[in-house]
Structure 1
Amino acid sequence: MELASMNALQLKRASETDLVKSEMVSVPIPKLKPDHALVHVKYASIQPSDRLNAQGLFPSTTYPRIPGRDYSGTVVDISSNSEESKSWIGKNVYGSSGSSLGFDTDGTHAQYCLIPQNALVEIPTTMSLLQAATVGVPFTTAHLCLTKARVSENDVVLVLGANGAVGSAAAQMARAMGCKRVLTAVRRPVSNPDIVLVSDSPGISLSENISTLTSDKGIDVVIDTVGDMDLMSAAVEKLAFQGRYIWIAAPRGVVSRRLSFDVFQGYRKEITLLGCNSVARTLEDTAGYLRSVNTWIDRGLLKALPEETFGTVKLDEAIEDGYKKTAQKVVIDMS
């Protein structure tokens, strides 16, 4: 492919003490390198971690850097000349970053992006290109949580923040895995949750509801996507024997991040506390997670949010109408 220019967002930082600046730039289309494919990005979501990255909150990010973790697009070129490799050209693919894309390697908020050939994943036929660009971080994080927690069909699973992107995916996956029971807890009563948390005493309401819903037997696995210490303290105390608590978030700002619990009961019940950091995985790892969930997607057991859930912006609008509007779900339309 003849080298030409493309439009992209770029993060720049003069020094560690300076603020990160986001700019629209014109840069050369990436040149193919061994074992990589060139993907024409069609859609790229702006995930919460992308916004945090643009604030300089990921120490692994190097500058200047094109951000962007999740994407959908079409393979337009590939470095290998093998027949199997060339068969990827023209296929629609999707994916998510792991530890590299958007951090120490240019990401997906550009018209083109280099993706390792072994990280290419074809989009399931039941998902649109726009939907495929929104599920990378949520689906891979949820899958990682359930895998690390060793979830089985004998488990009662509680998802905190089940109306969020990761929480919704985790609840769907737990049901797809045939778990004995999947309980959902939310702050806002949407989608018929099992527990609606009382705003002025969420920990107490969570504890009381768990006792009632499990007849005081407790929860085998808690998937915490919220990062609230009051909820965490309450849920840890309600773990069943050999219960596992896995979390992906923590409070931000000047608040306590310390957890206290009864260590005597903790060792007697043999509980396990597990942190989950999706950014610590490789691009190839996240591709493997997506291949694993594609079967559930094809069978209708795991669904992306409807297209109308997301606002769409053009690339040149993405800074003002995407990155800076933190309360909205936004997808960049590269067309």
Structure 2
Amino acid sequence: MKAIWYEKQGDASEVLIFGEMDKPVPQNDEVLVKVSFSGLNPSDTKRRSGFRGQKQAFPKIIPHSDGSGIIEAVGSNVNKNRVGERVWLYSAQWQRPFGTAADFVCVPSSLAIALADTTSLEIGATIGIPALTAYAGLFKYSNLNGATILITGGGGSVGNCAIQMAKYAGAHVISSVSGPEKMTAALNAGADNVLRYDTPHFVEDVLDITAGRKLDLIFDVAFGHNIEANLNIIKEHGILSTYASDNKSIAEIPFQKFLQMNLSIYSVFMYLLEDKMMQDAVQFITNWQTDLGIKPFIAKQYHLSETALAHQDLESGAIIGNIIIECQD
């Protein structure tokens, strides 16, 4: 089969190899998926580059955890009726060497989730990490029906997905972004209000929208950078959930203020979600696809042979939307 792999960490153009590998065979409890599209996420490029000291876990790695495709074969203990099923994949390369950047991938059957008939394989490849992260950050401690929330980074893959999910759940959604194109993306996702986070009057703008009422929940992509502003717009007993703090990895927390407001901080690392949370997330995503449909947020599509370029484009920060890679000729 055709595949992309790397044997050492480094720049995409230097370490990613496109070539032939043996087609995998499904083992007990696994399915063999003919991959239609591989979804590219920042965690994939960070793992490949060794971001913040991440070590290479296996001698040879086929990257990417998300994807979509059709089940071609099953191992023992898997219902043979799954053959031919259209599926979306998540965590394909988490604690395993071979992910979705290939013609075929074997994963545990539980990581191959049936796609709704109304969801394309292209969109299916974008569900995994963004949707599961968004679900955990929004719903672990919150019933969003009637809530007013802020989703920062609404022009990013996770933020865009979170906007759609929160609106489906009945929330009033304010989103913050860094530029006009991302503002358009957040509005297209369904945000009720979109603000530039870099204006000096951001806090006042939020409170103007809410008529002075503070927020029930903030789902944040830049925890360390946004602490001060967030403390001025979140209510007592509010929830601050976060999944990233790349620009300020060591955050200074004004503990006394957090304590006196009785705030909850919840961090989301999607790969380590509890089994019950993951099951609830998958069910929510299935219902969301069926009831409303996932709005496409695909910025660019590449061929498998162009995976190095896709990595470079994602790392450049210039792409607004999801990147998918077509794995079949």
TM range (shorter): 0.7 to 0.9
The CA distance in 2 between the partners of 1:73 and 1:278, in whole Å, is: 22
Q: Which of residues 272, 292, 307 is equivalent to 1:318?
A: 307
Contact 1:37 1:116 in 2 (8 A): yes
How far apart are 1:331 and its partner, in Å?
1.5
Q: Distance in 2 between matches of 1:316 and 1:102?
A: 23
Corresponding residue of 2:195: 196
Q: Please point out which of 69, 84, 90 is paired with 1:90.
A: 84
| Aligned with residue 272 of structure 1, among 261, 264, 276 | 264
Partner of 2:63: 67
Q: 1:115 aligns with which of 107, 110, 131?
A: 107
Show the counterpart of 1:133. 125
Q: SS state of the match for residue 12, structure 1?
A: coil
Asked if structure 1 preserves the Cα contact closer than 8 Å seen for 2:223 and 2:251, the reply is no
Alpha-carbon shift at residue 21 of structure 1 (Å): 2.2
- Distance (Å, rounded) in 1 between the aligned partners of 2:303 and 2:214: 48
Paired residue for 1:332?
325
Q: Is the 8 A contact 2:64 2:99 kept in 1?
A: yes
Runs (5+) with no aligned partner, structure 2: none
Q: Distance in 2 between matches of 1:60 and 1:283?
A: 26
> How far, CA to CA, are the matches of 2:223 and 2:201 in structure 1?
14
Question: Per-residue CA shift, 1:116-158, capped at 9, x if unaligned?
Answer: 1223211111111111111211111111111234233242211
Aligned to 2:296: 305
Q: How do 1:167-186 residues align onto structure 2 when only pairs under 5 Å count?
A: 167-179=159-171, 181-186=172-177
Distance between the aligned counterparts of 2:272 and 2:237, measured in 1?
26
Task: Tell me which amino acid in the other structure corresponds to 1:158.
Answer: L
The match for 2:153 is 161
Q: Name 1:290's counterpart in structure 2.
A: 282
The alpha carbon displacement at 1:285 in A equals 6.6
Aligned-pair distance for 1:292?
Answer: 2.4
Q: Shift of residue 283 of structure 1?
A: 9.2
Q: Which residue, 25, 34, 39 being the options, matches 2:33?
A: 39
Identity %: 20
Alpha-carbon offset, residue 198 of structure 1? 5.5
TM-score, length-scaled by structure 2: 0.85
Does the C-alpha gap of structure 1 residues 21 and 283 become closer, same or farther in structure 2, counting only changes over 3 Å?
Answer: farther
Which protein has the bigger helix share? 2
Helix, strand or coil: the match of 1:121? strand
Count of aligned pairs between the two proteins: 311
- Where 2:155 maps in the other structure, the secondary structure is coil
TM-aligned CA distance change 1:125 to 1:55, over 3 Å: same
TM-score computed with the length of structure 1 as normaliser: 0.83
User: Matched residues in 2 for 1:288 and 1:115: separation?
Assistant: 20
Other structure's SS at 1:87 match? helix
Give the equivalent residue in structure 2 for 1:3: none
Q: Rg larger in 1 or in 2?
A: 1
CA distance in 1, matches of 2:325, 2:137: 27
- Write the letter of the residue equivalent to 1:333: E
Equivalent residue letter for 2:128: G
- Shift in alpha-carbon separation, 1:256–1:145, aligned structure 2, 3 A: closer
CA contact (8 A) 1:139 1:290 kept: no
